[in-house]
Amino acid sequence: MGCNFSPSHSSYIMVMKDYKYIEELLENYFKAETTVQEEQILRAFFQNESVPAHLAGYKALFAVQKQMSKEHAPEKSFEACCKERARKINFRPFYRAAASVAIVLCIGMAASMSMGVGDNSKAPTAEAVENPDAEFGEMEQVLTPQSSAVAEKKDTLFLY
Amino acid sequence: MFRLAHRITLSQEEAEDVVQDTMERLWRERDNFSLINSIEAWTLRLVRNLSIDRLKRSGRNTVALDAERDAAPVAGTDQQVEMEEKMRIVREAMDRLPEIQRSIMQLRDIEGKTYTEIAEILQISESQVKVYLHRGREKVKKSLIGV
């Protein structure tokens, strides 16, 4: 006949094994031989309400650590603040810069155009026209029909 | 930065000044960031050095508890009162530790830094970090045993 452990007995053994593990962790903790993960296990264990009496003395130590980690803690992580800041970039300076560039371009274009008016290199000169009388006659032929058409429709035009 | 400065100086005002000085120094050194291996470690080392300078200037080394921590009477059950009392003793024990043990306990137990990171911040070896941490924790443990 094998040993017949009741569920409560086996769970008691499990609990004792867990405590053994915690005790070992605690011993290593004070020797500074625990990893960050093992220390997290200890903190999680000592957060429980039901800590056995022989370990209860250390509860205050981990409670203080938890309390201190919450003191002066930033509400958001540095990365979260940076991301939020990046989302809230103020575009006003960019608009101002764009407006400044547009103004400078307008002034530049206006200046170049005014300089272009003074430059008569491409305009026809008296020397360029070989036969002025012939040119005048040609222009008169073109414009006379237009002028008479305008005169005929003068009343209509005024209506507009 | 503030928490490490506060742990070393044990003063809210001085810790705030240290953080401000650190930020100024960071801004001045911004062109050299590419030369720094870990800016976080460099910054925390700066915080520690500035905090120690302030401690030396003020002529004290350890305990100077903030007014905020002055024990207010705790209302509650006996267990709660006992717990609060133990926590106060732990805090006082931690505040009485030498600066280096206090800083290492802060970096490890509160900030969750690895031994390697702490060694880099304090510019000591990992084994030295463990020795200081062991001594600090043992002192705090002894204060609890006495309760």
Summarize pLDDT for A62-77 with one digit per residue, the tens. Answer: 999 998 888 776 656 6
Q: In terms of CA atoms, which chain A residue is nearest residue B130? A: A32
Structure tokens at A11: 């769970």
Query: Smallest CA–CA separation between A62 and chain B, in Å?
Result: 9
CA-atom Rg of chain A in angstroms: 48
Residue B141: per-residue pLDDT: 92
In sequence order, the 6+-apart residues with CB closer than 8 A to the CB of A58 are A26, A46, B141, B144
Reported ipTM: the value is 0.78
Q: Are B110 and A65 in contact (CB under 8 A)?
A: yes
Residue A1: per-residue pLDDT: 40
Query: CB distance from B87 to chain A under 8 Å?
Result: yes
DSSP letter for B98, please.
-
Q: What is the mean pLDDT of chain A?
A: 74
CA-atom Rg of chain B in angstroms: 17
CA distances from B61 to A9, A146, B7, B68, B116 (A): 54, 104, 12, 19, 26
Instruction: Give, for all 147 residues of chain B, the pLDDT tens digit.
Output: 888 998 888 888 889 999 999 999 888 888 888 888 888 888 999 999 999 888 888 776 555 544 445 445 555 677 788 888 889 999 999 999 999 999 999 999 999 999 999 999 999 999 999 999 999 999 999 988 866
Pick A36's closest partner by Cβ from B2, B112, B129: B112
Segments in B1-98 forming alpha helices (H): 2-9, 12-28, 39-58, 78-96
Domain that holds residue B96: 2-145
**What CATH number is given to the structural domain containing B118?**
1.20.140.160
Kindly report the number of other CB atoms within 10 A of residue B118's CB atom. 25
Q: Structurally, how many domains does chain B consist of?
A: 1
Structure tokens at B71: 């024990």
Residue A154: per-residue pLDDT: 57
Q: What residues does each domain of chain A span?
A: 7-70, 74-118, 128-160
